[in-house]
Structure 1
Amino acid sequence: MIERHQILREWQIFLLAVGFLTRIPVPADPDFSDEKLNGASRYFPLVGALVAAISALSFMLASALFDNVLIAVLLSMVASILVTGAFHEDGFADSCDGFGGGWRPDDVLRIMKDSRIGSYGSVGLIMVLGLKASALFALPSTLALLSALFWAHIVSRWLSVSYLLDLDYVRGDGKSKPLATAMPLSHWLWAGLPILALLSFSDLPALMPMFLALLIFRFGYAAYLRRRIGGYTGDALGAAQQIAEIVVYLAFLL
């Protein structure tokens, strides 16, 4: 039987994850420890569910107010960006600048660390936001769009933390440093529990192309990171989340 103090501890770890990934105010943890901080990564997909719920609610409200799908899609994206502080988008832009402008691993990492956005990052952000909006707008129904939001925000964060299983962290500083630099397999499986709830409301055979595409991307991107920088950075994880989110949206169009 799970004791009350264990439930409270997990709740505090979840709040640490919320505070790290979003701009949502959370109370200070009176029993804060590095161990709790390192464990927060296993709640990233659950935080993704929270972001998806906010985005979905924003879409429904905007759709009711304006009766325009494109406007509702854009406002739902604005809501998700505001609630996360463009956390993952920032990592994606830094990754575009680093991998686009650097050849040697040290150059890539140095460019990533620069807070200024360059031409690769600017073009990358325009493309990633445009693809999100276009894919969501092209979905055939509101139900499909809402389902895609939840799948994308949850699965993309589960995929991004999977790199903590088999890649080394290659930079010890910077604003995008992950909460933990490694993750036990048991914690990653725990992190995937929200997906079970999604599966209970979904047509599993119809989702197979999405899972296949995500699997190919996951291991292809891991190989790319090993070759270019010898591991991962927080920015690289942000890029993984953004790309995986788009993969999910595009898969829902198949």
Structure 2
Amino acid sequence: MKRLTKSLRYFFSTSIFTRIPVTGRLGEWADYSPEALRKSAAYFPTIGWLIGFITAFTYWLMASNLPDLPATPMVAAFLSTFVGLMLTGAFHEDGLADLTDGLGGSMKREQALEIMKDSRIGSFGSLALIIALGSKISLLTLLGQKDIILACWALFGAHVSSRFAPLLVIRFQSHVGDESGSKSKPLSDAISWSTFSLGTVWWLASLILLQFLYPDIPWWGAVVGAGISLIWMFRLLAKRLGGFTGDGLGATQQICEIGFYLGLLLVL
């Protein structure tokens, strides 16, 4: 019972990664200490379950109730993406923009890290956001044109898998840059194997659910797409920065989400 209580406290501490309010007594009970936030990394994929279900429901609701027109899947894709942004406060998109500004603004590691601290979005970051959001909406539109329910489950799977990917980065790379004021400061120490294993269980459970509900769909293509995206981001962070930052983790989530959709579409 004590272990379950601790797990719930760690789970609620992940509220810092969403705009979903955890207030009152529940907010006071949740543990926001650096140690708890580090252990809460195990629940990154669980946040994906929550965001994935809500955005998938939004997609289904729009696609099912709007007129049956060629543009309907695009409207559903746009609105579900918008809901996802509202739920997370564009937390990961902000990381993608900052990382792109840093890497695009300088080839030197220290200067790139300094640029990433600037809260203003530059030209590289703006382009990255346009391409990322445009890619997600376009790919979800194509999936919806094939099958509305397939697009909904792809949304769910992508949100879970893309939030498992940063766990691999945290586990196998070192934190770089100035830790003071860093969004990823609690994760500057490597997460334990038990924390990583729990996150893996949540990720695998999502794949099992997808395979059970939609057994005829080649979900392996989506996993491969997300995996290739993860490898690319892993190597990019290691080569250009020598490790990860909070912005790097957010960018990894975004790229792996896109890779999940693209990989699935390529094998359908």
Fold shared, TM-score > 0.5 on shorter chain:
yes
C-alpha displacement at 1:229, in angstroms?
A: 1.1
Is the aligned partner of 1:168 residue 2:164? Answer: no
Is the aligned partner of 1:250 residue 2:262? Answer: yes
Q: 1:179 to 1:59 in 2, by over 3 A?
A: farther
8 Å contact 2:226–2:257 — kept in the other structure?
A: no
* C-alpha separation in 2, matches of 1:8 and 1:104: 46
Gaps of 5+ in 2: none
C-alpha displacement at 1:200, in angstroms?
A: 3.8
* C-alpha separation in 2, matches of 1:201 and 1:244: 18
* C-alpha separation in 2, matches of 1:215 and 1:77: 22
Name 1:42's counterpart in structure 2: 42
C-alpha displacement at 1:28, in angstroms?
A: 2.0
Name 1:51's counterpart in structure 2: 51
> What is the TM-score when the length of structure 2 is the normalising length?
0.87
Q: 1:99 to 1:42 in 2, by over 3 A?
A: same
Amino acid aligned to 1:41: A
Give the alignment partner of residue 128 of structure 2, picking from 124, 128, 134.
Answer: 124
Q: 1:112 to 1:25 in 2, by over 3 A?
A: same
Could you report, residue by residue, the CA deviation over 1:44-97 in whole angstroms, capped at 9, with x for unpaired residues?
100011001111121122224423221111111110100100000000010110
* C-alpha separation in 2, matches of 1:65 and 1:173: 48
Name 1:20's counterpart in structure 2: 16
Name 2:218's counterpart in structure 1: 206
Give the alignment partner of residue 177 of structure 1, picking from 174, 179, 184.
Answer: 184
Q: 1:97 to 1:61 in 2, by over 3 A?
A: same
Is the aligned partner of 1:225 residue 2:237? Answer: yes
Is the aligned partner of 1:66 residue 2:66? Answer: yes
SS at match of 1:114: coil
Name 2:154's counterpart in structure 1: 148
Gaps of 5+ in 1: none
RMSD: 1.8
Amino acid aligned to 1:201: L
> What is the TM-score when the length of structure 1 is the normalising length?
0.92
Percent identity for Structure 1 against Structure 2? 35
SS at match of 1:28: helix
Amino acid aligned to 1:24: I
